[in-house]
Structure 1
Amino acid sequence: MTAYRARLTESDIRRLIKSDVEDDRAAAAHKLFRSIDRMVLDETERAAARKILNVLAADTAELVRRALAVTLKASDLVPREVARRLAADVDSVALPIINCSPAFSDDDLIEIVRAGSAVRQAAVASRSRVPRDVATVLAAEGRQEAVLALAANDNADLSEHALGLVVDRFGHASEVVSALAYRQVLPLSVTERLVVLASDAAREHLVTRHALAPETAIQFADFARERVTVDLIDQARVAVDLPEFVARLYGRKALTPSLLLRALARGQMALFEHALAELAGTPHHRAWLMVHDAGPLGLKALYDRAGMPPRLFQAFRSGVDTWRMLQAEGGDTSGEAFRQRMLERFLSQRPDAAREDLAYLMERLDRPAPEALAAIGAA
């Protein structure tokens, strides 16, 4: 504390109070603000410092006010009335404070947004935390530049309603759509709308990271002419409610032997179990017991009851046995490394499967894991 005070000399104070040269006063103000920000102050000292800030926030020199705004932009020492005064100043003074100061209430930030300046709205939208009410007003009333900053800010608390407003207003703007697509969390209703609007790269990210409703997934998976298609097996892996997902696939006649063999070969045992239970009309717990029965009859009985083709049974038997052996070797059966080992081991046994299924599985074996792609994209 003493060291910081020592750096602020009598000459500095004299320049700050009496100098007519703006650069001199700004340099002295900057030194003062840095000293104040670094010192540990008691309540009396904090009150005195705030009086100084209140005076200097009204200084006629823009450079002095800017020195205050830049140096103390994130400080909790700046009183709310000073922060509001600086936020109403010219952009060079206002933007650092608007973007960083903890002094503002939600109502203050909403007032700034509704004043209509795009750059100030963007400063609010880029804050380290944007409360839900503020984010909703930005989504509904913000300029495109500000809404783009909001969409790209994962620390903005955007409700499903607010996200829908952004899509309604700027679904035509590729930059905004892409920024939404790359958010960490998206509601299903918004994901489905973005899949239609997004670029190929953003769409690939959406269908890999976020679950879609089965109807939407099937629609995209069936469009062979689409440059990016949805893999229903990947969608099952990220589905929040797997039984419901499987039931809806069954209702759309999408639980085909091909889908189930591909899922099993990729280590998606839960999808395989729920699908056979759905097709056989039996509870999942009973299907689980029959699939994992060490004897030769349980899986065969369930398989036949599900109406699956007899010629493919040995391929499915091989898949279940491979999964069981790998599980016995230890490791996380839900991880990507396990799925890759499962796929490699399954293909090494030359299963009697349709050519298109084998081609799909070999292509998946060569494709980087979604986690690896995400890491590359984040680098």
Structure 2
Amino acid sequence: MTAHRARLTEIDIRRLIKATDDDERASAAHKLCRSIDRVHLDEADREAAQKIIRVLANDAAELVRRALAVTLKSSDLLPRDVARQLAADIDSIALPVIGSSPAFSDEDLMEIVRAGSSVRQVAIAARPSVSRDVSEVLGGLGCEQAVRTLASNDNADISETTLGTVIDRFGNTPEIVAALAYRQVLPLEITERLVALAGEAVREHLISRHAVAPETAILLSGYARERATVDLIDQAGASADLETFMAQLNARKALTASLLLRALARGRMSLFEYGIAELAATPHSRAWLMVHDAGPLGLKAIYDRAGLPPRLFQAFRAGVDTWRQLSAEGADTSGESFRERMLERFMTQRPNAPRDDLAYLMERLDQPAQPAGRTLAA
């Protein structure tokens, strides 16, 4: 400790000892704690400082103990036994220390959570870092506000099991569902459960923030009925492996004639090709030949093999023919402008498509073009 700091500390110690007024002693305690926390201490000085801290922690005046708690709440100078002592004090003294002090062990923090004070649980949930073990106890025993705070704390290490526990306990609480959804990292299974519980705005965030794993996009289509703000056809554009994506759709019984017709009408030829290949249990290369190069009967043959509804074949035929015509005219089939032209021309043919699909396509005509990053190669 430097000579200047030592003299300053000695003056403040004398002031603290001589002061009879609580306010004056609290002010002296604050200054003393700030002084010793800012200076480098050798081992002997550190021991002396901690003796002073223990004296302050036992002061009869609430203001003095609060000055200690607030000033040294984040300091590594605060001994563990003093931190535990302050944590057992009244809230105005305990909460600053509980919420910040590095002196506590995980066992200390879990003990505080189990004691049941909601405000203290919230303070722990908001700490600069929360370990996985502490998060587990909070998730299982914490009050609603503490769990919401924990879910909002991206510096909290929350296991998938604990996230599941939180959803089990508070899945009907929109604020907690939203807090979980806005975490930086979420396991796939948790994302899927949240999609089922969240409102539209939160669902949209889940899709955009988490780059939408195909499984999540597939699940979303069921809740959105393929017409929600977040569109499964658009989300397919994020998949680098359409063959796997289609297989996953099919496994979940989401690879429907409706989905393929909507994709085709919007110029998503690759999605259509891989989709019909999956349904027909045919390699994509063979499906491509039957759709494009096998004469007038090729499309009908693979369409029937895929088990798609006979009544919709002419609508699919119109989609494939429209795509071919535009391609023959030299249109760039990978651009968003092509999607718009494809959809416009398809709709002018009055295709014999289900009413819901036509309504969906009309809505897409009215929407602005998607950013370039959301396109899917034809």
The normalised TM-score by structure 2 is 0.75
Check if 1:312 corresponds to 2:319. yes
Name the SS of the counterpart of 1:81 in structure 2: helix
Post-superposition CA distance 1:29-66 (Å, at most 9, x none): 11112122221223332232222222222222221221
Return the letter of the residue paired with 1:26. A
Residue matched to 1:79: 79
Alignment gaps of 5+ in structure 2: 304-312, 349-357
Residue matched to 1:222: 225
25-34 or 190-199, larger mean C-alpha shift: 190-199
- Kindly state the Cα deviation for residue 322 of structure 1 after the two structures are TM-superposed: 5.8
Distance change (3 Å), C-alpha of 1:277 and 1:73: farther
Which of 336, 344, 367 pairs up with 1:343? 336
Once residues 259 and 60 of structure 1 are traced to their aligned partners in structure 2, the CA distance between those partners, rounded to angstroms, is 75
8 Å CA contact 1:69, 1:94 repeated in 2: yes
Post-superposition CA distance 1:261-295 (Å, at most 9, x none): 36755xx96x56744653564556x58xx98xxxx
Distance change (3 Å), C-alpha of 1:51 and 1:277: farther
Percent of residue pairs identical? 51
Residue matched to 1:97: 97
153-162 or 306-315, larger mean C-alpha shift: 306-315
Once residues 37 and 331 of structure 2 are traced to their aligned partners in structure 1, the CA distance between those partners, rounded to angstroms, is 63
Alignment gaps of 5+ in structure 1: 292-296, 327-341, 372-379
Return the letter of the residue paired with 1:245. F
Distance change (3 Å), C-alpha of 1:3 and 1:232: farther
Residue matched to 2:256: 254
Once residues 104 and 75 of structure 1 are traced to their aligned partners in structure 2, the CA distance between those partners, rounded to angstroms, is 12
8 Å CA contact 2:33, 2:68 repeated in 1: yes
Aligned positions of 1:146-165 closer than 5 A: 146-165=146-165
8 Å CA contact 2:100, 2:128 repeated in 1: yes
Distance change (3 Å), C-alpha of 1:21 and 1:134: same
Check if 1:300 corresponds to 2:292. yes
- Kindly state the Cα deviation for residue 366 of structure 1 after the two structures are TM-superposed: 5.5
Return the letter of the residue paired with 1:257. L
Aligned positions of 1:14-33 closer than 5 A: 14-33=14-33
8 Å CA contact 2:267, 2:338 repeated in 1: no
Distance change (3 Å), C-alpha of 1:126 and 1:242: farther
CA RMSD of aligned residues (A): 3.8
Distance change (3 Å), C-alpha of 1:259 and 1:201: same
Name the SS of the counterpart of 2:77 in structure 1: coil
Aligned positions of 1:127-138 closer than 5 A: 127-138=127-138
Post-superposition CA distance 1:116-164 (Å, at most 9, x none): 1000000011112111111111111111121111121122222222112
Return the letter of the residue paired with 2:26. A
171-180 or 140-149, larger mean C-alpha shift: 171-180
Residue matched to 1:335: none
Return the letter of the residue paired with 1:149. T
Check if 1:53 corresponds to 2:53. yes
Residue matched to 1:353: 346
Return the letter of the residue paired with 1:148. R
Name the SS of the counterpart of 2:346 in structure 1: coil
Post-superposition CA distance 1:177-224 (Å, at most 9, x none): 222222222333333333343334323333444545466333223276
8 Å CA contact 1:125, 1:146 repeated in 2: yes
Structure whose alpha-carbon radius of gyration is higher? 2
